[in-house]
Amino acid sequence: MIIFLIAGFAAPVPCVFAEGGTDWDSPIRIPSPAYSNSWFPDVAVDRQQNVHVIWSETGDFGAGITASEALMYSVWNGSQWSQFTDIVPPQADIIRSAMTITEDDIIHVLFDSDPPFSLYYKSVPASSAYSAARWGKPMVVNGREHTYMSDIVSWGSNLHIVYDDGQFYEKECAGCADIFYRSSPDNGLTWSEPVVLLNTKLGSARAQIEVDGAGNLYVTWDEGWDRLTGLGSADHGIFMFSRDQGRTWSVPLLIEYPNNTNIQLTPAGNGKGGIMLVWRTISPNYPAIYYSWSTDWGNTWTLPQTLPNIASSQLENSFDIYDMAVDASGHIHLVATGYLASNRIESADFSNPPGLFHFEWDGENWSLPKVIFQSSWYPLYPKISISHGNQLYVVWHMRESIHSQMGYHQLWFAHGRSSAEYIEANISETTSPQTEAVMINTPTAEQPQETPTILPISSEPMRGNPFSEIDEYLILLVGIIPAAILIWIVMSRKSKNP
């Protein structure tokens, strides 16, 4: 059985705006190789608040292959970045990666590697990650050679991963991927058998997995298109969750509102029954960023609403993502690219690239968007991590031209503090400080590409939601459906009992 979001609506959320309680430091550039391109970063933070970042590096690394890729690593100690190092040697094929840190300060990484599109796992103590030689031996977690993207989270010593993998049974999109799940109960030493979360006839892509403080798992992905084969087109999002560490999964929830061009569905949960879903479309008729909220473990959902004062990036590509994380007060923090707007899409300024924005959900309402970064380049693929209760860390890559994959790319980083309580980490005496890494000044000198020009932010537009008229009609229609059904039932009973 599959549940459609429109079937389980609760009352709509009132149009009131929360006061965002997060302060942000000025973003900084992450040093990376001077003659290649840096993109698709991920971020995780250890108990000493060292910020660990991995990313894909594309370029000519001396092997004569201009499009070869390596997996790079660097760490921020609060004032400087370490010298970047490749933790997966350069190869001819695509590398995409994901990272988490367990409570014992072990870094766990997923990455594609040779043979092409095989998925590997390896780990290292956070204090030794600066040295490629100290990383553990890679372990194959999917050797079928059809994985493009993966994600990983941890809870205790348990690791949980999702990844796309091509299927060749009868389907409309031959060779297109489904989303698979595996887990490890012992910090990556052994792994469960792969489980396909949902067999579909279409392609599945851009899977994300999140875990809350109670160990509940949340998974979302795009349905309708496939990255490796290039087949299909954006259709809808799918959400599933598990409350028993992946042993059983909920019935899939299909996100088809406002129409079948939905992408970038992302989840978050507060561990108390509150689940947030955020997504957008690629249709110009629906330019907003949408969300729906459940307070009862997904039994009912609010009517889909639009995030305040924002229009989506309007870009149709596989190189962007939304991401959310939860602080110690239960507030949900979203990072997303888009354009400032008010109550109509015409108020957005599409003459410049989109900006990177932060939103904060207080359990009832979203804050107005707060600009993290706005420049003459295109921000893409933001990832967020929260540590010590209220410390927010965001990474993303900047692209000089949205129309060229081989145009210049840079990595950027921002740090914020929410109004939640700061929680001291329990650092054992055996935890070794990271003192051996070679630290370098930020940013790197003599970059051949230009630095993005910081753009002035226009005055805040009127408060409102960037609905289209079609949105308003659809919400009105959905709102009167329950009343119409009730009237029909009453009239039917009266006609049967004159």
pLDDT at 390: 98
Residue 165 forms part of a structural domain: yes
Q: What's residue 342's pLDDT?
A: 76
- pLDDT tens-digit readout, 28-83: 999 998 878 999 999 999 999 999 999 999 887 665 555 688 999 999 999 999 99
pLDDT at 294: 98
Q: What is the reported pTM?
A: 0.88
Q: Does 220 map to a domain?
A: yes
Dump pLDDT digits (tens) for 139-152: 999 998 889 999 99
pLDDT tens-digit series, residues 217-247: 999 999 999 988 888 899 999 999 999 999 9
> Could you give the CA distance from residue 191 to residue 253 in angstroms, rounded to a whole number?
27
Domain with 251 in it: what CATH number?
2.120.10.10
pLDDT confidence band for 402 (50 / 70 / 90): confident
Average model confidence (pLDDT) across the chain: 85
Give dist(CA 93, CA 394) in Å, integer.
27
- H or E element in which residue 380 lies: strand 378-387
Q: Is the pLDDT of residue 476 over 70?
A: no
- Give CA–CA dist 80/48, Å, rounded: 15
Q: In the structure, what pLDDT confidence band is assigned to residue 295 with cuts at 50, 70 and 90?
A: very high
For 74-88, how does the pLDDT look when each residue is reduced to its tens digit (9 = 90+)?
999 999 999 999 999
State the residue range of the domain holding 237: 3-467
Structure tokens at 476: 């009105």
pLDDT at 375 over 90: yes
Q: Does residue 476 belong to any structural domain of this protein?
A: no
Percent above pLDDT 90 for the chain: 64
Tell me the β-bridge partners of 305: 291
d(CA 355, CA 378): 7
Query: How many structural domains comprise the chain?
Result: 1
pLDDT tops 70 at residue 468: no
What confidence score (pLDDT) does residue 91 get?
Answer: 84
E strand map for 226-351: 232-242, 253-255, 262-269, 275-281, 289-294, 305-306, 310-312, 323-326, 332-340
Q: Look at residue 491 and tell me if it is in a domain.
A: no
Q: Say whether 6 sits in a helix, a strand or coil.
A: helix
Q: Among 174-183, 185-194, 300-309, 467-476, which stretch is predicted with the lowest mean pLDDT?
A: 467-476
Domain assignment present for residue 86? The answer is: yes
Q: How far apart are CA 97 and CA 151, in angstroms?
A: 8
Closest C-alpha among 426, 293, 437, 261 to residue 365: 293
Higher per-residue pLDDT: 266 or 491? 266
30 within some domain: yes
Would you state the pLDDT for residue 470? 43
- pLDDT tens per residue, range 89-121: 888 878 899 999 999 999 999 999 888 899 999
Residue 459 lies in a domain: yes
